[in-house]
Structure 1
Amino acid sequence: MFCPARLALLFTALAVAPCAQAQAQAQHTFGLHLVSYHEPDKTYNNTNPGMYYRHPDGWTAGFYRNSVRRDSIYIGYTWKYGIFDITTAGVSGYFDKVQPLLVPSVSLGTWYGVTPRIAYIPRVEKKIGSHVLHLMLEF
């Protein structure tokens, strides 16, 4: 059923979304990598301490202790879509010198200036036998 109020709300949301994205993108972001959960293989390292920085323009760089118990460094770009992010990067520390990284994530809200974020890292090669959920905190 046609509802003018809902249509107006939809158009308002569509008009405000790019402004909200630009506002959110205009902040420097520092983050901590914390822990992961590997499914179905639970033999991987689930303690993944590290840090990252995201520039207001989206450029992202960081480091962490990876799932195969090696140090990883990554450099890439993060696209923001409201509470969702997609980070693409090149990452070191696995089986190849540098391999591609594609990580979608979602913000869980902000409390006292801290934003928990859950990332999903899909299994992209046969050497890593798990899909991964990863927890980060952003400031």
Structure 2
Amino acid sequence: AEDPYFIPESTTLTNQLLNFKKTKKRFAIVVDEYGEVQGLVTLEDILEEIVGDFTTNTADDDDEITRTTDGSYTIDGTATIREINKATGWDLPTNGPKTLNGLVFEHIESIPDGNVSFVLDSYRFETEEISDTMVKKVSVTCIKPIKFSED
């Protein structure tokens, strides 16, 4: 077995890409300034951050964001916020978590035991499918307030 490969969280994408090439490794454990584990980064994570999402199975993309008859969307937890905004014309916040799963976790601050719903800005989120470690499917509805004209 190989020894774990640790990297500081302050390492830039470009430097880590070069480090992966030099060390011939494809993933690393990210640690903070105190040596506490912050997560795992893979070569694929870095490449996707630089060039955008890519996959060898394009059939999966068609099911990631699906409009339903009531105007809401059923969305995979793995869909990126940018993909969602692009597909729906919405303006979900892009300055935080990268995926819908991350956005749900950030808002409810845990992995839900059962389905939950919440409102964030002008959007209602309702979890539809949950595993032990992530939210798999979410129904999202835009609920922008209706503006009444003054007569």
TM-score (norm 2): 0.27
Structure with greater helix percent: 2
- Relative contact order higher in (CA < 8 Å, ≥ 6 apart): 1
Structure with greater strand percent: 1
TM-score (norm 1): 0.29
